[in-house]
Structures are given as structure tokens and as C-alpha cells.
């Protein structure tokens, strides 16, 4: 696969829209907290590096990835943000929980994108092991949180076309 050994988080800041006047919500699932904290750090740093004021980054913690949908909805309704970044990590165990939670949060966040006029970004890792998650949360394949922040800036800029 072309992306198998590539850091996926590299980007050209010159190509990103101006984010200095944007405001973001970040909803962070507390399951697999080691990973989701690393995702948060990646997202937060990327927003700051692109000129977002720290007072315009609002964090909300929720218990697990299943609760990201409700957390993102609350954020959209109460925090006056330009975009919401939902961060979670679902690791496959021995039961079908993985499939149910992954599908629920994917559908939930998609519904929010259709219902509200502000974008919600999917920053949820779905992996077969903790090691795969670490590789994608600041490890050899970059940081999915940073990628989610870049997507959030791009989508917030697009939504201003409305
Ligand atoms: C229950 C559960 C399981 C088994 N695995 C994960 C996981 O890998 N990642 C995650 O974010 N959350 C997990 N959860 C918790 C659910 O997302 C949810 O918090 C609970 O089912 C309560 O609704």
C-alpha cells in the first residue's frame, strides 16, 4: 500500500487557510487515554502553530468514543465554534464492541455534519492493537489529531462560504 510506511501528518502551512480568527471545539474520549491525550496534543499544537488563539480552543472530555457524538452536539450548540474535532481511539478486543462503537460514532458524527452548518471532524483511530494506535498518535505514522486539526481548519474555512 502506498501509505504503509509514510508519516501521514506532514502538511504545507502555506497551503492552509488563515486560522487566526477561528474558534474550535475539541471533544476527547477518555477510553484509551494514553492515545487520546496524544491525539489532543497533536491537534492543539497544530491549531496553535497555525495562529489559533488558545482562548479559542475549547476542550470537552467524554467517557468513551460512543459519547463523542453527544459531546460534539453539545459543543456545536453551546460553544460558538467554527468546527468541532472529535478525538477517540477504539481498539479491537475479543468482542464485537469494536464494530458497534466504530459504526455508532461514524454514523453519529456524519449525522451532525448533515444537521448542523458547522463541520465535525472524525479524529477517531480504529486499530487492531495498542501499538498500531501509538504509531498513529505521535509515532511513526504521524498524529491523527494533527491531521484532524488541519482538516478542521480547511473545513471551517469552507463553511464560511455559506
Ligand atoms: C465499552 C468500550 C469498549 C469495549 N472499548 C472502547 C474502546 O476501545 N474505545 C473507546 O473509546 N470506548 C470504548 N468503550 C466505551 C464506549 O465508547 C462507551 O463509553 C461506553 O459503552 C458507555 O456508553
> Is 6 inside any structural domain?
no
Give the position of cell 469552507.
158
28 Cα: distance to centroid of ligand 1 (angstroms): 13
> Is 146 inside any structural domain?
yes
Predicted model pTM: 0.94
Which residue's alpha carbon is nearest to atom 12 within ligand 1? 64
> Is 17 inside any structural domain?
no
Which domain does 78 fall in, by range? 22-159
- Domain CATH number, residue 30: 3.40.50.960
> Is 10 inside any structural domain?
no
* Count of domains forming the chain: 1
Supply the pLDDT for residue 6. Answer: 63
| Helix and strand element counts for the chain (H, E) | 5, 6
77 Cα: distance to centroid of ligand 1 (angstroms): 24
Supply the pLDDT for residue 8. Answer: 59
- Indicate if ligand 1 lies below 6 Å from the C-beta of 91: yes
Residues of the chain with pLDDT under 50: 1-3
Supply the pLDDT for residue 1. Answer: 43
pLDDT digits (tens, 9 = 90+) for 39-73: 999 999 999 999 999 999 999 999 999 999 999 99
SS3 of 31, please? coil
Q: How many CB atoms lie under 10 A from the CB of residue 15?
A: 8
Supply the pLDDT for residue 2. Answer: 42
**Ligand 1 atom nearest 124 alpha carbon:** 11
Amino acid at each position: 500500500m502506498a501509505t504503509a510506511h509514510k508519516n501521514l501528518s506532514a502538511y504545507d502551512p502555506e497551503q492552509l487557510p488563515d486560522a487566526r480568527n477561528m474558534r474550535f471545539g475539541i471533544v476527547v474520549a477518555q477510553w484509551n487515554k494514553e492515545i487520546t491525550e496524544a491525539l489532543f496534543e497533536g491537534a492543539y499544537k497544530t491549531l496553535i502553530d497555525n495562529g489559533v488563539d488558545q482562548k479559542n480552543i475549547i476542550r470537552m472530555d467524554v467517557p468513551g468514543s460512543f459519547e463523542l457524538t453527544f459531546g460534539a452536539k453539545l459543543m456545536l450548540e453551546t460553544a460558538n465554534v467554527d468546527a468541532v474535532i472529535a478525538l477517540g481511539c477504539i481498539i479491537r478486543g475479543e468482542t464485537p464492541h469494536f464494530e458497534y462503537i466504530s459504526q455508532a460514532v461514524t454514523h453519529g458524527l456524519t449525522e451532525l455534519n448533515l444537521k448542523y452548518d458547522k463541520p465535525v471532524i472524525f479524529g477517531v483511530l480504529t486499530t487492531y492493537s495498542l501499538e498500531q494506535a501509538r504509531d498513529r498518535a505521535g509515532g511513526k505514522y504521524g498524529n491523527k489529531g494533527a491531521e484532524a486539526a488541519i482538516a478542521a481548519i480547511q473545513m471551517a474555512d469552507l463553511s464560511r462560504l455559506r
